[in-house]
Structure 1
Amino acid sequence: MPEHDVQNLTRCLAENAEAVCRRYLSAGRRHGNYWLVGDVRNTPGRSLYVRLHGPSEGRGAAGRWTDGATGEYGDLLDLIRESCGLLDFRDVAEEARAFLSLPHAEPRPEARTKPATARGPAAHTEAARRLWSMTRPLAGTLAAAYLRHRGLKELGGLTSLRFHPTCYYRADDDGPTETWPALIAAVTNLDGNLTGVHRTWLAADGRGKAPVDIPRRAMGDLLGHAVRFGVASDVLAAGEGIETVLSLRQVLPDLPLAACLSSAHLAAMAFPPLLRRLYVVRDADPAGDHALETLAGRARDAGIELTALSPRTADFNDDLRHLGRGALRAILRPQLVPQDVARFLEATHA
């Protein structure tokens, strides 16, 4: 498709940005000049935001979107591609034309081969490394106080978590820059190389998140990577949120853990080469169910045994905080493979 046709489609979609969002991101809602939803696959939530009004191109353009949890971003053509699960750009263009009631384009050999989402994470990896270099160890900081307030009291050895006292925050490209203390988590690949960071902005007293619209955001190259606690060999437990997987660490301190930061990234996680058994720390929601289903197929193809770990409440951090460590142990015991009960649960309780 000629570039001028792509630009025309992008412009027409941007002029109807709210209608596009209501059609393809129906689980979201409008909030001021933005449409908020969980992710580009229409999961309920507030991580992804689409600008509804602005110039036709450049800084602050209408139709531009960013997923604060993953660092992905793009335009409305990218949004249609991802939400509809389309692979060929000609199909994306036809879907957009159908939505706009425009005439069909004649087939052309040219195609838009590099989506806008592919540019964002790689471009931010170096910035993520610079931010990580400016952090300090967790002990004795507001970040440690925040984790303890979430029931996470066993914090020794958490080298993948650090603290930044004045981390920049900006709600959108045109908003003012603020500074808040932040819990910074290192996102690494299977070789242990840092590819991104995850930021949780904190209240000034450390007893909760900062009072900002999107208190959690990731940046850098995230796909396939994770925030890791321990070195995985034959057994690994992986989930979405940092606090969720750290809750397991309170009663299973020797079990290697990985927080993939979103359901989509959990489904796409890279398997360690020696992995033989994967515990999926699932959240009790539709996105978590979809991630579990996708991982089950991938694990089966790779010859990896997969077992789901299900919380009694909304997630394992809620179980820990509201039911206590003893109850969490009792919830996990029947879900673990017997040899892992002896290896990870009973050995640490002795």
Structure 2
Amino acid sequence: MSHRNLTIEAFVKLGEFLRTFCEFIKSDSTSDAINNEWFLSFKDEIEMAQHYNGWFTVDNCMYAFEEWGNLLTKENIDNWLINYDINTNKEKIVALIMAGNIPLVGFHDLICVLITGNKALVKLSSNDQKLIPLLVRYLEDVAPYFKGRVIFTKEKLENYDAVIATGSNNTSRYFEYYFGKKPNIIRKNRNSVAVLTGEETNEDLTALGEDIFRYFGLGCRSVSKIFIPKDYNVDTFFKAIFSQNGIINHNKYANNYDYNKAVYLMSEFKILDNGFLILKEEESYGSPIASLFYEYYNDLEDLKYKLKQEEDKIQCIVSSGFIEREIEFGQTQKPTLKDYADAIDTVDFLLRTS
């Protein structure tokens, strides 16, 4: 069997396992599955996750596993790869420097490297040291072909052919200095926005709450800013997202909420507040945790032009009938395999790099 087929088969098995595992956890089953070594390993890791990263709650880890389980089907993978000729790839070692802001955030890069027939040299974020190695161990178990194809290291990266590095605007300068001579994808800060017109249904706005609060707003696909018309009724928005109010019971989130509110009040900024989310009028995009920036607009065409000019700062635009490649309300944390970070085709990059 070709490496392509072996790899696809292994990822399909991983998808099947994740779907079964998530159903098992949801049902609180006491079936024979509880004696399955892998079920126990995944359950233990998820329960331990928030001890090494307080943002990695059981709910958020389960959400990430469930989304990957839904993505990793034979049909989805075949549809993703249909326009690529994987057989043209020349095997290489690809260094991956992963972020750790949300669970499994670097896993798509790893899949791209492996499915194109390359090896991965991985430097994990200190915030996500456990979950991706767990998935790799499972892949090695169901497909021994993978053994030795993923190497995790904490040392200085050496002996690699290409680099994919994800970080902040500050770390990107460091990455460009050290890795600029190799073929690379270097990612900087991006945020996601929503464009509201006042015509949204209550269901739309409730779904937007998922885009704002999932993963505590820490993802680049998390909505951190909304654009609203001058006469927008913010109370409509606050009422629609009220179902998310339980987030304030999370200690780290609550601490950020209290701190940012105190800073804004001491600085005499005008804010809107519903007890678990602070709205602040602001032109920039990256709002702090427990805050959401907003900006008024007068004309949708002008706004469209503005966002086009600043597209290097934006990951997703959530809206309804605003632009062609918009994301539906509630869908930002449900990317497909074809949704590449920063709209850079990772598979194409890997196939073109010799």
> What interval of TM-score do these two structures reach, taking the shorter chain for normalisation?
under 0.3
Higher strand share: 1
Q: What is the TM-score of this pair, normalised by structure 2?
A: 0.22
